[in-house]
Structure 1
Amino acid sequence: MPSFGKGIKSGPTVANVLITKRETRLDLSVHKKPNHSDRYLRYDSYNHPIVKNSVAYSLVDRAFLVGSSDFELKAELDYIRDVLIGNGYPQKVIDKVIFRRKMSGITKNFAPKIEDDKPFLSLPYIKGITAILSSKLTKLGFKVFFPSGRTISSFLNKGKDKITSDPPGVYEIPCSCGDTYIGRTMRPLNHRLKEHADSIDACLKKTKLKEEDNFSALAHHIFENPSHSINFDQAQLIAIVPQLLKQKIREALEIAKNKPAINKDNGEFHISEIWEPITHKLKTHKKLHPFPKGPISLRSTRTAAINASAKIRAMAQQ
């Protein structure tokens, strides 16, 4: 049987679908990675029966929708039976799900019915109570869902350091000439500074700027003043504002207050002159976040790994 694809003997995969080339046709089947654990939500877990049954329905639906031949469908259904039994599912539950899907005549154009007119409710599962409550709510016209509870692993440390980065807000970048630029960002400041640096590099490759060129105000400033240099190592956050709308307003207020010469506009909000006495009362963020010198890194140092390596070396020397 000939096959095609790169790195896969039986053929290429597209969205968990294995494509196998035969003599006169292409066969489709469900693809599972070699390291697939065959672990699913166990039937004896403390979850609503609907949640556990949905695991069986999702696997069976995928088998009917993906399998292109009776042989592939039978092989996948046999696999589903073995795997679900291994996860504690009763044989009668599995057979019931498969029988219902066969009788429903599920096809490639199958799509679940969505009842948008019903209000949604999410209830925690409490054995003996939730079933009665959900039955009464369903009769009242509610669509009831039962989310899975938290697992033990969700309470445990992942073994990785949290990536520390500057909070979003309004920042200020000085130039060697003494002028400054004020902007805002919803991302870490390092990312935004790298974008400014890339914009300057791209701008300096031009011999003449056009109106449609989308370069930053800093890039225009350096293009017009080649002897100047942007002091990225002195860039700092002057206000921490995580909310987008408030951030846009604060940027306009800081521009009105400091009147940075490099800025080409007054921000996304117009601040009337009558507010000028109030803008001078704005408090600048006390704890400044200077841009680190050296190459820009988008990854934090794995301090846990470094400390562990140091301890191992110390033990080896003893």
Structure 2
Amino acid sequence: MGNPLSPVIANFYMEKFESIALESAVLKPKIWYRYVDDTFVIWNHGLDSLHFFFLKHLNNIHPNIQFTMECEINGRLPFLDILISKTDSLNLSFSVYRKPTHTDRYLNKLSNHHPCQKIGVIKALFDRAKKVSDPTHLDEELQHLRMSLQANGYSLLEINKVFSSKPKQLREKLPHLGMVFLPYIGGVTDKIGRILERNNIKTIFIPTKKISEFLRSPKDPLDPLTASGVYKILCSCGLVYIGTTKRSFLTRRKEHMRFCRLNQPEKSAIAEHALNNLSHDILFDNMKILSRTSNFYR
């Protein structure tokens, strides 16, 4: 999770998986569409065979790949963010699907973000509505978006302006000479961004400190020895060694102990002191942390 290669690898595997599953199935679906690990299936062999044969068949191919199944209810079935419905003429109708837990909370108008990012939120929701909803559901979806966006602080004038804007014609642009990331400070960094843009340098605006950064974490504190920074280790003679590490304190302490054990004074000043003074005890268990930081150079 979080690795950009994950969806690609998952797709490779699932493509092989589905080819094995469909070729070896005694009864096959009429329609099988897949997006990564979500499938949309039309089954015309009866509900019992779907549950007791096909689903069981899929889950017997590999013990770590187990499918769950959701069947249509009252002629409606959600797939990804689309709600697919049967019409009286047995055609399919499409509208935007939201989970029951969806809160309609989007980037608030009062948030300290660049205006183009806020307009981007409205535009993305509008574009999704146009692409997903068919004509019979589009007006209903747009009305829902107007109410939701107004609840998030946007004016009806701003919303309608984006909704009624025409797509811009794509013009050939020169490749950017570079890219800069600036914290968004209204009236300051946006002006800098315009100057950079005139010089063909792309500007990405990032928010300043978030509220969560001012609050303590609700999670239990981690073992301090898993952090990095500046530490000190005492000797029984009273001398003190002060060192820095960009890995964890725990890893660095184990290294010092190993250098002492393997008689490698050239790798550690602690090992050098201990081997030159065999009657001294290095108090590794009393290691003190002077400063924790994830920035080694600081």
| TM-score for the superposition, normalised by structure 2 | 0.48
Q: Which structure carries more relative contact order (alpha carbon 8 Å, separation 6+)?
A: 1
Instruction: Say which structure is richer in strand.
Output: 2
